[in-house]
Structure 1
Amino acid sequence: MMKFQSLAEIATLADQLPARDEAALAEAQAREDSLTKPPGSLGRLEELALFMAGWRGTARPEIGTAQALVFAGNHGVCAQGVNPYPQEVTAQMVANFEHGGAAINQLCRVNGADLKVIALDLDRPTADFTEAPAMSEAETLAAMNAGAAAVDPAADVLILGEMGIGNSTIAAALAAALFGATPADWVGPGTGSDDAGIRRKIAAIDKGLARHAGLDPMQVLAALGGREQAAICGAVLAARAQRTPVILDGFICTASAAPLYAADPRLLDHCLVGHASAEPGHRRLISALGKRAVLEFDMRLGEGSGAAVALGILRSALACHNGMATFAEAGVSDA
Structure 2
Amino acid sequence: MKYLEISAGPQAYQQIGAEGFKADLFSHLGAAAGGPKWQVLARLDRVLFGEWLPQRTRALHAVGASIGAWRLAAAAVQDPLAGLDRFEAAYLAQRYSLKPTPAEVTRVAREIMDSMLGADGVAQILANPRIHLSILTARGLNGVDGTGSGRDKLALGRAVLANARGRRNMADYFQRVVFHTGQTPTRFMDDGFGDTAIALDQTNFTAALLASGTIPGVLETVRDIPGAPAGAYLDGGLIDYHMDLALNQPEGLLLLPHFSHRVTTGWLDQFLPWRKPRYLHRTLLMTPTAEFLQLLPNGRVPSRKDFGRYAGRDAERERDWKKAIDLGQHLADDFATFMHSKEPLQWVRPLAS
TM-score bracket, normalised by the shorter chain, equals 0.3 to 0.5
Which structure carries more relative contact order (alpha carbon 8 Å, separation 6+)? 2
The structure whose residues are more often helix, as a share, is 1
The structure whose residues are more often strand, as a share, is 2
TM-score (norm 1): 0.35
TM-score (norm 2): 0.34
Between Structure 1 and Structure 2, whose CA radius of gyration is higher?
1
